[in-house]
């Protein structure tokens, strides 16, 4: 198994890297296409999705990420990462369509409306049945396709979802102390979920 990559263009990628190392994974920062070729799993962190698109334009980076997902690479996308992978984004923004969800950007308000909330978890994630979710200018999933499994909710909104090889959280699990989202990603990577 190759290294696990963390897309290091923007956002708090170092926090994801530290957690994956803590959990025993070999991790590398991904900034170039040659870095991308060396990983078999990728974390796309939160940040500013439109800025990430601009930073990735030079080498058509995101289309290469989409190709790698299509050929089996596991992905954990958080916050802005979910926007970049969504099938449909409102208001419109280019995305890879690798996750069958519709997302509404900044649906919960601006940065000042950020929140720390309890996320209710599916039994698969074990006890306790909730985890802390840090929502910073978070997107809202307004629709899930039939193949999308919801693993976490904030109120009635799905906030942690999985479809085949993609795990998406609209919040920032890297900013809390609960490691279950990253552990699930590493398990999916090991057993080839999907």
Q: Is 144 a catalytic residue?
A: no
Distance CA(42)–CA(40), nearest Å, equals 7
Is 79 a residue of the active site?
Answer: yes
| Catalytic annotation, pick one of 79, 87, 163, 182 | 79
- Active-site residue identified among 4, 87, 163, 174: 174
Nearest to 182 by CA among 35, 64, 77: 77
Q: Among this protein's residues, is 174 annotated catalytic?
A: yes
* Catalytic-labelled residue, pool 4, 87, 172, 182: 172
Ranges of beta strands (E only) in the chain are 3-7, 27-30, 39-44, 74-78, 86-90, 99-104, 115-121, 130-135, 140-144, 149-154, 157-163, 166-169
> Which residue pairs, CB below 8 angstroms and at least 24 apart, start in 183-190?
183/23, 184/125, 184/151, 185/41, 185/43, 185/74, 185/76, 186/4, 186/20, 186/23, 186/25, 186/41, 188/74, 188/162, 189/1, 189/4, 189/40, 189/41, 189/74, 190/1
Catalytic residues: 79, 172, 174
């Amino acid at each position: 198994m190759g290294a696990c990559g963390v897309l290091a263009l923007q956002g708090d990628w170092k926090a994801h890297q530290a957690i994956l190392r803590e959990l025993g994974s070999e991790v590398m920062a991904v900034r170039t296409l040659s870095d991308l070729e060396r990983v078999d799993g990728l974390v796309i962190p939160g940040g500013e999705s439109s800025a990430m698109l601009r930073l990735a334009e030079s080498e058509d980076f995101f289309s290469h990420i989409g190709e790698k997902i299509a050929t089996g690479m596991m992905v954990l996308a958080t916050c802005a990462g979910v926007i970049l992978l969504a099938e449909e984004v409102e208001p419109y923004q280019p995305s890879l369509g690798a996750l069958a969800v519709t997302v509404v950007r900044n649906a919960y308000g601006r940065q000042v409306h950020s929140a720390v909330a309890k996320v209710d978890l599916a039994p698969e994630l074990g006890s306790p049945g909730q985890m802390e979710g840090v929502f910073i200018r978070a997107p809202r999933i307004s629709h899930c396709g039939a193949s999308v499994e919801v693993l976490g909710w904030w109120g009635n909104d799905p906030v942690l979802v999985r479809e085949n090889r993609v795990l998406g959280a609209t919040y920032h699990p890297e900013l809390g102390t609960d490691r279950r989202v990253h552990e699930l990603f590493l398990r999916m990577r090991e057993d080839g979920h999907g």
